[in-house]
Amino acid sequence: MIVAQRKPFEEIKDMLKVYKKVLNVGCGTCVAVCLAGGEKEVDVLNAELDMARKLEENPIEMGAITVERQCDREYLETLDSIVEEYDAILSMACGVGVQFLAERFPHKPVFPAVDTSGLAVNQAVGWYEERCRSCNQCVLGMTAGICPVTMCAKGLYNGPCGGTNKGNCEISKDQPCAWHMIYERLAAQDRLDNIIAFYPAVGWKDQTPRTLIQPGYKTEDSAPEN
């Protein structure tokens, strides 16, 4: 799941300082589950903005709507008839949702209310840990299900490096060494030959935005216009 955390209140307030009527758009999927940008978080942020601006004798009118997903055109359609009533849009979705919203309403200023942190697992209520950086070149099959891009401080495809220290990473004693964990798990599975294999480094350079079309679906050319 994509996880995010709300931006500091001062930063959000500052982005909206020149606007009098703003629509706060929540997203009902990933950021709602991670308690950052769903319906309830929209209401809390709106209440805060309302009170803060009244205290400054400069009231703001905040609209609230939460769509199922901001990364799907069909859900953004529901906003078409209401955005014109507002000076600006605040989005509580991940960076994907904010951009899709801005694409759909290019004449309206769109602001992000959350910082998108990554792809994470849920360890306990309100506690999320990153596990994937969506590198598009998955090596988990060879690394015993532990991602070296995410879990290794250097993102090494061939490790460990000289900084491994009794199971921990040199950057912090609280940070386990990913390649130590990979070694331990591969050893337990009697698959240590995998750690000796050499993996070419991930092709991060010359990155362009990736498009994914699942087999059997439309081609990129047939994507609908906004």
Partner 1 sequence: MRLDYPVNIKIILVPCTGKVDVLHLLRAIQKGADGAYVVGCLEGACHYNEGNLRARERVEHVSRLLEEIGLEGDRVRMYNLSSGEGPTFAAYAKEMTEHIQKLGPNPLKKWAE
Residues 139 and 149: their CA atoms lie apart, in Å, by: 9
Candidates 53-61, 147-155, 180-188, 202-210: pick the segment binding partner 1 (CB under 8 A). Answer: 53-61
Q: Which of 14, 59, 121, 223 binds partner 1 (CB under 8 A)?
A: 59
Residue 4's contacts (CB-CB under 8 Å, 6 or more residues apart) are: 30, 31, 34, 36, 37, 94, 114, 115, 116, 117
Q: Pick from 17, 20, 21, 40: which binds partner 1 (CB under 8 A)? A: 40
Stretch of residues binding partner 1 (CB under 8 A), selected from 39-47, 82-90, 91-99, 148-156? 39-47
Closest CA to 6 of 134, 34, 17, 16: 34
Q: Which of 20, 21, 54, 191 binds partner 1 (CB under 8 A)?
A: 54
Q: According to CB under 8 A, which residues from 8 to 37 bind partner 1?
A: 9-10
127 binds partner 1 (CB under 8 A): no
CA–CA distance, 167 with 224 (Å, rounded to integer): 50
> Interacting stretch for partner 1, rule CB under 8 A, among 42-50, 116-124, 150-158, 179-187?
42-50
Q: Quick check: 115 binds partner 1 (CB under 8 A)?
A: no
Residue 50 sits in the site that holds partner 1 (CB under 8 A): yes
Residue type, 180: H
3-state helix, strand, coil in the chain (%, to 5): 30, 25, 45
| DSSP 8-state code for residue 85 | G
* Residue count of the chain: 226
Least distance from partner 1 to the Cβ atom of residue 128, Å: 17
Give the footprint of partner 1 on this chain (CB under 8 A). 9-10, 40, 43-44, 47-48, 50-52, 54-56, 59
